[in-house]
Amino acid sequence: MQDTGLVCAYFLFDNRSGQASFQSYDGILRSITHQFCAKLNAFPDVVVSTFKGCGSGTSPPSRYSLRTMLTSILQHLPNSYIIIDALDECHDAEEVATWLQDLTGVSWSGLHVLVTSHDQPDVADCFLHISKVHVLRVEERTNNDIEQYINSEVEKGLLRSCSAEMKADIRESLRTKAGGM
């Protein structure tokens, strides 16, 4: 996407990994900042000074420093996208929403944000006052897509010769373990 001037950073909140950084506000801040830093030709002064102030990489920057760096970086990347997947798996969804509200409230218009989440009122409520963030909730459509895929696959290959009862058990197990994904 860089050839077109578009840059994108992506973060998946994942509670199946067992790593707290994949479920936290700090984790998304570090990841998004790192991804956008990698897209720059030269680092803004705030990035350089923060890096030096953190022992040239020997200690992590504070949340405030990360937010300041990211704001500066985004001003150097005029057509940027942040994609956040599975916000409902974040332990700090309210903090992420507040951060996004602050980030999208800044005066430049080249930032676009897409957030996906299961339909949970507490997560959706976090975004009521953010006009520039698009929240997509995983709905019954996704479960129907999963159902169609499972049915299609169970009827193919080696499973085609299984009994109807075994196929039903396999379908139910796959549906249960899919977890909406």
Q: What is the mean pLDDT of the chain?
A: 81
84: domain CATH number is 3.40.50
Q: Are residues 88 and 146 in the same domain?
A: no
Give the predicted TM-score (pTM) of the model.
Answer: 0.73
Q: Which of 43-47, 52-56, 141-145 has the lowest mean pLDDT?
A: 141-145
Residues 80 and 9 in one domain: yes
Residues 167, 110 share a domain: no
| pLDDT over 90, % of the chain | 23
Q: Calculate mean pLDDT across residues 7-22.
A: 78
117 shares a domain with 33: yes
Query: Quick one: 131 and 153 in the same domain?
Result: no
State how beta strands 80-85 and 7-12 pair: parallel
Residues of 39-77 as b/e, b for ≥16 C-beta within 10 angstroms? beeebbeebeebbeeeeeeeeebeeebbbbbbbebbebb
Q: For residue 1, what pLDDT is reported?
A: 46
